[in-house]
Amino acid sequence: MEIDSEKIHERKQSEYNYLDERFEIHKEMYRGQQYSQIYFARLHLMRTLLYSLAPTWKPHLPVCKVLGLEEGKDCIIVGTLFKHMKLKPCVLDEYSKERSVTPLVKPHNFMHPDDNLILEDESGRVKLGGSALSPAIYVTGVVVALHGKETSAGEFFVEDVLEAGLPPQIERPIDLQEDKYVVLLSGLCIGSKSANPLQFQLLVDHITGHLGDEEEQGLAAQIVHVVIAGNSVEFPRKLINGQNLASKDQSTLYEPIKELDIMLNQIAAGVSVDIMPGLNDPANFALPQQPLNRCLFPGSAPYNTFRSCTNPHSFDVDNIRFLGTSGQNIDDLDKYSEAESKLDFVERTLRWRHLAPTAPNTLGCYPFTDRDPFLIETCPHVYFVGNQDKYDNRLVKGSEGQLVRLICIPKFCETGIAVAVNIKNLECHTLSFSTQVRI
Amino acid sequence: MAGKPAIAIASLDEKKRKYLPTKSQKSEKMTLTHTLNVLDEIESLVSDQLQVVSFKWLSRNFSLSSNTAKRLLKDFVEKHGKGLEVVYIVSGCLKNGPSNYSAKLASSTELPEVEKEFNGKYSVHIYSVQASVPMDPAAIWNAEFVQAEDLSRQPSATDNCLRGNRFCGISNSFVKRNIEGTTGNVTAPRTESVRTNAAPAQKGTVLSNQGKRFQHSNANVSHQAKNENNTAPAQNQSAKSSSDNERSLLVPPNKKNGLGEKSVSGTGGLLKNMWGRVPVKTEDESAKVEVKIHINDHSEVQKPSHDADNKGGSEDENQDVNFKRAPKHENRKRKVILDFSDEEYEDADVISLASPSSPKVNSRPDGKFNSEDSCPEKPDAGVSQEITFDEPEIREEDREKTAVDASTTLPMEKIQAIGSEAEVNPSKRRIIEAPSSPKRKKMLKSRIDDRGREVTEVVWEVTDTKVKKEEDTETSKKLNDGKNANGVNRAVAQKKSPAIGNAAATNAGGKAGSKKGGNIKDPKQGNIMSFFKKV
């Protein structure tokens, strides 16, 4: 209504492409199939790939199947790794021990010095020995090529390992002149005690251009896309105990989603926003998690800028490929292997060309019959993981000139930090908000 | 607390809207008097109402841009700031992270410290003024959120400052809000559509089916189902959404929207068939209630004649009545197809076809013509895979009806009888399986036991309806002589009802009806209808 003499910035625009079809499940029918099919699809695709890479790696060696191994003969075998872990929780334990009411959160690692690796393909299994392959790094479900020979003990002594490596990448457009930012955040946990709504409001105000002076608002106008990577709400656990809810409890249950919807409404009114489901969100448990239902967001759903997406999520902004998850895959790797930093896990999944190798072994997954949607076929330019403990990023260079920015997005409710990626040069920085006020 | 001033200011807002000059006439700055008014308002809010006034709240309330609101607050603090606490927002880049943006709230006492953390160009604005800063800083946000909630509660079609994102410093002309898709009142349109569809049975079934499906599956399309003559709401919707989006940015997501809506409605239909029948059922029951009101009306008209018949007390008349109806229902019977689903689902499917059948039942003068006309419609309604079974349908209606109006149950019982009659008299019709519930019948069985003696005993047998029907076709078509125990009972009940009274008849009829489907009682328990049975 009022016209001010101030400048109103125009938000920058970008081309957006939605690439989540492979993660959507609406056409799949569950016919009681088992997980062997997804493993078979994975092995089949990866093996074709590794067979094509093997000649360049070790040209003189023959490639054979597990059953075709001969003692003392040097060869290459390709198969799926299985890590036998002593401490890995077995589902039968739930029935033998006393069960506690609250969901058991086991953050610790299940590794043990006695863990060993086994290679398996459709013909058989063979135990792996040697020190080239460290059980601490690998997990069940990774497909690799191994060079070695069978020992008299019946083991396969590994001399060298070939991973699939970074997939091919589409060239980044070199003509991007302007700075355009994509903001990534996760772990809002609206409804939990640790969430600070004022903090999120400050972020929303910044993105939509209320905060700061003109210059800052001009910077905010360069934000072209926002992605919320999971765990946006947290429902009070005590209410969900299988009993009917009293009406006052029902409204308590609904409050977090309503709050989230109003905030998303504010964002969607100004900029394109994607919301992904996470572990605590009202979506299905097994990966790939399906998009949050639009009915949960009556205020935000009418906007053409609002998108509810799957987890994992893949999209293009101005032909820059983004791929990311809400963190379940990396958290699972953390339980069954070790690394110095979370980014190591992220990099490993990229080199193994598989988003979630531990699925379906220890990570819930849909039993696909004809494909494995978690295989990374094209290398993304930005690969993000949500709900991590702290912010971290790394630029990874591939053997064929691929350049990937790996980002660990911290939980916003704990840190107040969101990440902004500049798609012009893949640089990223943080947006942090603090509401500590002392009188 | 925030409610009271909001109302006062809203009225002020209205006045302003009326008398303020139009955009073209407006000067760039606010008029002095206007400013003073606002400042006074803020003063009263903060000091008297003890509300936290943040710049966003101010901007939404007085329809100012955020930047103007910030300036206003600054003026306010300069003039009236004594005794009030101010919270500042410092934003910019921190010294120890030069490329990282940071925004921090600070009170006036810590402001200098916080400012030192920033380097280069940073900005300081007033975030909010309040009488005292709350213990939990998040409480500063409350008043603003209450305002946002109120704005979000406004009907979806209204564009307000929350939805339009008006008062910020960044504009985005590519954002479009689809107002067509409302999650508004779904029940109203549905009952409407059923009401009008009850009479013209032919088109009605198709539409009401479609309408219901879309309403379940896609809220976006729901209110378009209101438009009964619009047979392609989904197509309209997608057309609209595609016309909304001309720009390249919007094409992919909106294609998805359009497709999503279509596919959702498609899968919604599938889902409905899979497990959505339960909710469908409840709504269809409400539809049935609607339709039943028609039945009531019809039955009211017919009742006197019924009563006359009954008072006449002649069996022949009853038989005639029933006779007439039988063929009608036999026609209906023709559409029965094999069903492996539960009875519940049958009901649901049946219910969707209830609208043509019930007027048929009641419009006796038109009788056969009506039924024959609407009969072929049923397969066309695209529910050929579903089963219609009159029995449970009528029973349902009966139950519901008893709830609605006990006094007019008489015709319902007759309808029930007719239903059973129809079942009983298939003659040369091709009738396929019975509903899944087994029918028990008391039967006298005589056999030779191991000692060579003839033993006759009463046995509860689960009989196939087919068997029963075959048996019954051999007997006469007269209702009263039919071997169908339930039919007999019901017929007797009809006769007896004027004598016994309506309530009892209701119970009897109800029980007889329920016996059909749920005859899984203890065989040792006697049949209450035996009380009425003529030996």
A208 and A305 assigned to the same domain: yes
Kindly state whether residue B470 falls inside one of the protein's structural domains: yes
Q: Is the pLDDT of residue B493 over 70?
A: no
Report which residue type is found at A381.
Answer: H
Helices (H), B384-501: 390-404, 409-424, 465-474, 485-500
The whole-angstrom distance between B358's CA and the closest CA on chain A is: 35
Q: What is the pLDDT along chain A (439 residues), one digit of tens a residue?
A: 444 456 788 888 888 999 998 998 887 888 888 999 999 999 999 999 999 999 999 889 999 998 888 888 899 999 999 999 888 877 776 676 565 554 555 557 888 888 899 999 889 999 999 888 999 999 999 999 999 999 998 899 999 999 999 999 998 887 778 899 999 999 999 988 888 999 999 999 999 999 888 888 999 999 999 999 999 999 877 777 777 777 777 878 888 999 999 999 999 999 999 999 999 999 999 999 999 999 999 989 999 999 999 989 999 999 999 999 999 999 999 999 999 999 999 999 999 999 999 989 999 999 999 899 999 999 999 999 999 999 999 999 998 889 999 999 999 999 999 999 999 999 999 999 998 887 7
Tell me, yes or no, if B466 comes closer than 8 A to chain A by beta carbon: no
Model confidence pLDDT, tens digit, residues B82-122: 888 889 999 998 888 778 899 999 988 888 888 888 888 88
B361 and B453 assigned to the same domain: no
A275 and A324 assigned to the same domain: yes
Reported ipTM: 0.84
B250 and B350 assigned to the same domain: yes
Comparing A338-347, B163-172, B274-283, which segment has the lowest mean pLDDT?
B274-283
Tell me, yes or no, if B181 comes closer than 8 A to chain A by beta carbon: yes
A121 and A195 assigned to the same domain: no
CB contact under 8 A, A213 and B101: no
What domain count does chain A have? 2
* A70 Cβ neighbours under 8 A, 6+ residues apart: A150
Q: What range defines the domain where residue B429 resides?
A: 190-438
DSSP helix/strand/coil, B488: helix
A176 and A151 assigned to the same domain: no
Quote the pLDDT of residue A103: 52
Secondary structure letter of residue B405 according to DSSP = -
Last residue within a domain, chosen from B384, B414, B438: B438
Q: B122: closest CA among A437, A216, A208?
A: A216
B451 and B432 assigned to the same domain: no
Give one DSSP letter per residue of B101-156, joined into a string: EEEEEEETTTHHHHHHHEEEEEEEEEEEEESS--SSGGGGGHHHHHHHHHHHHS-T
Answer whether B347's CB lies under 8 Å from B398's CB: no
Neighbours of B466 (CB within 10 A): 13
Last residue within a domain, chosen from B420, B438, B456: B438
Tell me, yes or no, if B106 comes closer than 8 A to chain A by beta carbon: yes
Report residue B115: phi and psi, to 5°. -60, -30
Quote the pLDDT of residue B95: 85
Helix axes of B55-62 and B66-80: crossing angle, nearest 10 degrees: 110
B12 and B88 assigned to the same domain: yes
B392 and B276 assigned to the same domain: yes
A157 and A293 assigned to the same domain: no
**B window 265-324, beta carbon within 8 A of A:** 267
Q: B86: closest CA among A439, A211, A204, A213?
A: A439
Kindly state whether residue A438 falls inside one of the protein's structural domains: no
Neighbours of A191 (CB within 10 A): 23
Kindly state whether residue A189 falls inside one of the protein's structural domains: yes
Kindly state whether residue A2 falls inside one of the protein's structural domains: no
- Tokens 């006796």 correspond to what residue? B364
Q: How far apart are alpha carbons B486 and B480 in whole angstroms?
A: 10
In chain A, residues with a C-beta closer than 8 Å to the C-beta of B83 are none
B417 and B480 assigned to the same domain: no
Token reading at A418: 């969101």
- Tokens 């863990």 correspond to what residue? A115
- In whole angstroms, what separates CA B504 from the centre of its chain? 35
CB-nearest partner of A437 from B65, B106, B170: B106
Q: How far apart are alpha carbons B45 and B54 in whole angstroms?
A: 11
CB-nearest partner of A3 from B23, B105, B144: B23
A150 and A68 assigned to the same domain: yes
A296 and A243 assigned to the same domain: yes
Tell me, yes or no, if B186 comes closer than 8 A to chain A by beta carbon: no
CATH number at residue A147: 2.40.50.430
Secondary structure letter of residue A104 according to DSSP = P
Tell me, yes or no, if B338 comes closer than 8 A to chain A by beta carbon: no
Kindly state whether residue B1 falls inside one of the protein's structural domains: no
In chain B, residues with a C-beta closer than 8 Å to the C-beta of A269 are 162-165, 175, 177
Kindly state whether residue B170 falls inside one of the protein's structural domains: no
Q: Quickly state the pLDDT bin for B137 (edges 50, 70, 90).
A: confident
Q: How far apart are alpha carbons B67 and B77 in whole angstroms?
A: 15
- Tell me the β-bridge partners of B104: A434, B90
Q: Which residue has the higher pLDDT, A233 or B524?
A: A233
Last residue within a domain, chosen from B438, B473, B500: B438
B129 and B220 assigned to the same domain: no
CA separation (Å) from B50 to B47, B79, B131, B132? 5, 18, 6, 8
CB-nearest partner of A430 from B28, B100, B253: B100
B419 and B480 assigned to the same domain: no
Tell me, yes or no, if B253 comes closer than 8 A to chain A by beta carbon: yes
* B385 Cβ neighbours under 8 A, 6+ residues apart: B337
The pTM of the whole model exceeds 0.95: no
Tell me, yes or no, if B137 comes closer than 8 A to chain A by beta carbon: yes
Strands B118-130 and B53-54, how do they pair? antiparallel
Quote the pLDDT of residue A380: 94
Kindly state whether residue A175 falls inside one of the protein's structural domains: yes
Question: Quick one: average pLDDT of B166-189?
Answer: 64
Helix axes of A197-208 and A247-268: crossing angle, nearest 10 degrees: 20
Residue of B12, B62, B101 for testing the chain A interface, max A β-carbons within 10 Å? B101
Rounded to the nearest 5 degrees, what angle is found at the Cα of A357, between the Cα atoms of A355 and A358? Answer: 125
Tell me, yes or no, if B242 comes closer than 8 A to chain A by beta carbon: no
Q: How far apart are alpha carbons A312 and A385 in whole angstroms?
A: 9
A176 and A127 assigned to the same domain: no
CB contact under 8 A, B103 and A211: yes
Answer whether A326's CB lies under 8 Å from A388's CB: no
What domain count does chain B have? 3
Tell me, yes or no, if B24 comes closer than 8 A to chain A by beta carbon: no
Answer whether A326's CB lies under 8 Å from A386's CB: yes
Secondary structure letter of residue A311 according to DSSP = B
Kindly state whether residue A439 falls inside one of the protein's structural domains: no
Kindly state whether residue B140 falls inside one of the protein's structural domains: no
Token reading at A344: 């190591």
Question: Quick one: average pLDDT of B254-270?
Answer: 40
CB contact under 8 A, B169 and A305: no
Q: How far apart are alpha carbons B292 and B124 in whole angstroms?
A: 69
A254 and A141 assigned to the same domain: no
User: What does chain A come to in residues?
Assistant: 439
B230 and B348 assigned to the same domain: yes
Neighbours of B385 (CB within 10 A): 11
Q: How far apart are alpha carbons B531 and A309 in whole angstroms?
A: 66
CA separation (Å) from B465 to A49, A143, B281, B473? 63, 60, 26, 12
Q: How far apart are alpha carbons B426 and A251 in whole angstroms?
A: 55
* Residue spans of beta strands (DSSP E) within A21-170: 63-64, 74-84, 116-120, 125-129, 143-150, 156-162
Kindly state whether residue B159 falls inside one of the protein's structural domains: no
CB contact under 8 A, B64 and A303: no
Q: Which residue has the higher pLDDT, A411 or B325?
A: A411
Q: What range defines the domain where residue A115 resides?
A: 58-91+107-162
In chain A, residues with a C-beta closer than 8 Å to the C-beta of B249 are 13-16, 272
Answer whether A210's CB lies under 8 Å from B167's CB: yes
A198 and A126 assigned to the same domain: no
Helices (H), A192-341: 197-208, 214-220, 247-268, 328-336
Kindly state whether residue A265 falls inside one of the protein's structural domains: yes
A405 and A315 assigned to the same domain: yes
CB-nearest partner of B56 from A4, A6, A210: A210
B259 and B341 assigned to the same domain: yes
* A405 Cβ neighbours under 8 A, 6+ residues apart: A381, A382, A383, A393, A394, A395, A396, A421, A426, A428
Q: B161: closest CA among B79, B241, B261, B60?
A: B60
Answer whether B105's CB lies under 8 Å from B88's CB: yes
Closest CA in chain B for residue A298: B183
Kindly state whether residue A38 falls inside one of the protein's structural domains: no
Q: How far apart are alpha carbons B111 and B90 in whole angstroms?
A: 8
In chain A, residues with a C-beta closer than 8 Å to the C-beta of B156 are 298, 302
Q: How big, in percent rounded to 5, are the helix, strand and coil portions of chain A?
A: 25, 30, 50
- Tell me the β-bridge partners of A365: A287
B220 and B258 assigned to the same domain: yes
